[in-house]
């Protein structure tokens, strides 16, 4: 038998045979990976996750986040944040682009539901997912760091549920209105853009929505968490069915101006209303007024008035004209990345 010198390049039939064998093994490996259950699960989940683009926050904060389809008719669940200060743009997994309407918002969950004009879409059905335990393997699917800007698939991270705990276990250290049960994740899910993404188990079942970036005020530790699907599915269903809406009733009669509330009666001045839809940012707060006593601050963005979404100053004036100035007013404000409920007592 002829000895092969390891220092001498191969040629002729030997080289061809080795090249073909290497190519076959490579193709076999690619096929095995493509056919693996984890790859198929990841790809199915990516098709149900969307990219959301809207307003940027203060100090150059990112203007994008994630969401996931919850109906074949274009309903999308996502986390409420400053990105939704304007009606957002949604990109699907296949690259299609839609203008989205915000049809509902639940402050206590920091949850928003959007609607796009599309149909026959892949989506996450809500099944029974309240048996999740610590140690369960999960996938976090989101558009973290804006990696997917078109038809590129969303990112997938594999990890486990480190614990099932209440978010208010250490009251006052976490700036979030949600104080219910969360899944603490053993994976880095609090990156910019990941908020509102989907957490799925290894059967493809939706088990939660990825939370926003959250940092413990005492320890400085970033918390990677998801809100359980069980906590959101009832609210999402009510919003889709129209049983829970933040839309303003345009047919509700207005009170005479001398009887109705206004920004002035609530002890605040708003920024100049110079745009077609100027956001309801507080410019100043009158000392000892209703807003002052409630803890309202300049630069707060008013989101809801008595449960109705006020996306512009025009809409806020319309809502306040229906409230007697002797009555308390419930408002929800966004302060940086916090959602805060306040009661203004005249």
Q: What are phi and psi of 260, to 5 degrees?
A: -95, 160
Distance of CA 218 to the CA centre of its chain: 25
DSSP character string of 39-78: HHHHHHHHTTEEEEE----GGG---EEEEEE-STTSEEEE
pLDDT band at 190 (very low <50, low <70, confident <90, very high): confident
Q: Give, as one character, the DSSP assignment of residue 253.
A: P
The full set of domains in the chain, from first to last, is: 137-241 (2.40.10.10), 268-344 (2.30.42.10)
Does the pLDDT value for residue 90 go beyond 50?
A: yes
Is 60 exceeded by the pLDDT of residue 187?
yes
Cβ 153 vs Cβ 46: under 8 Å: yes
Residues 6 or more apart whose Cβ sits within 8 Å of residue 101: 87, 114, 115, 116
The whole-model pTM stands at 0.78
For 292-337, write each residue's pLDDT tens digit: 999 999 999 999 999 898 989 999 999 999 999 999 999 999 887 6
Q: Which residues contact 12 (CB under 8 A, 6 or more apart)?
A: none
**Cα within 13 Å of Cα(37), Cβ side:** 4
Nearest 5°: CA angle at 153, between 164 and 211? 25
Alpha carbon of residue 249 to chain centroid: 26
Q: Count the neighbouring beta carbons within 10 Å of the beta carbon of residue 219.
A: 10
Of the candidates 85, 123, 119, 86, the one whose C-alpha atom is nearest the C-alpha of residue 236 is: 123
pLDDT value of position 228:
93
Averaged pLDDT score across all residues of the chain = 84
What is the average per-residue pLDDT within 283-298?
96
């Amino acid at each position: 038998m002829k000895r092969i010198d390891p220092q001498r390049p191969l040629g002729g039939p030997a080289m061809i045979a080795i090249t073909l064998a290497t190519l076959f093994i490579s193709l076999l490996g690619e096929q095995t990976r493509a056919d693996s259950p984890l790859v198929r699960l990841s790809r199915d989940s990516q098709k149900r996750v969307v990219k959301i683009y809207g307003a940027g926050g203060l100090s150059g904060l990112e203007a994008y986040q994630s969401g996931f389809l919850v109906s074949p008719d274009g309903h999308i669940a996502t986390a409420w944040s400053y990105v939704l200060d304007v009606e957002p743009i949604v990109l699907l997994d296949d690259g299609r682009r839609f203008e989205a309407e915000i049809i509902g918002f639940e402050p206590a969950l920091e949850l928003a539901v959007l609607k796009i004009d599309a149909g026959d879409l892949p989506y996450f059905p809500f099944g029974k997912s309240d048996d999740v335990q610590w140690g369960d393997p999960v996938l976090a699917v989101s558009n973290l760091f804006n990696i997917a800007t078109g038809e590129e698939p969303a990112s997938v991270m594999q990890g486990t549920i480190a614990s099932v705990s209440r978010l208010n276990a250490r009251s006052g250290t976490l700036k979030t209105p949600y104080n219910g049960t969360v899944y603490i994740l053993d994976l880095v899910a609090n990156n910019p853009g990941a908020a509102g993404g989907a957490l799925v188990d290894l059967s493809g079942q939706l088990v939660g929505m990825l939370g926003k970036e959250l940092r413990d005020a005492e320890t400085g530790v970033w918390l990677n968490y998801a809100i359980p699907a069980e906590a959101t599915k009832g609210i999402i269903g009510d919003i889709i069915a129209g049983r829970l809406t933040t839309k303003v009733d345009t047919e509700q009669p207005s009170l005479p101006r001398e009887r109705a509330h206004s920004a002035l009666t609530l002890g605040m001045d708003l920024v100049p209303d110079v745009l077609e839809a100027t956001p309801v940012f507080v410019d100043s707060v009158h000392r000892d007024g209703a807003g002052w006593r409630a803890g309202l601050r300049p630069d707060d963005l008013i989101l809801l008035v008595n449960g109705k979404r006020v996306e512009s100053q025009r809409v806020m004036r319309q809502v306040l004209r229906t409230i007697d100035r002797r009555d308390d007013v419930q408002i929800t404000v966004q302060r940086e990345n916090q959602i805060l409920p306040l009661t203004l007592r005249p």
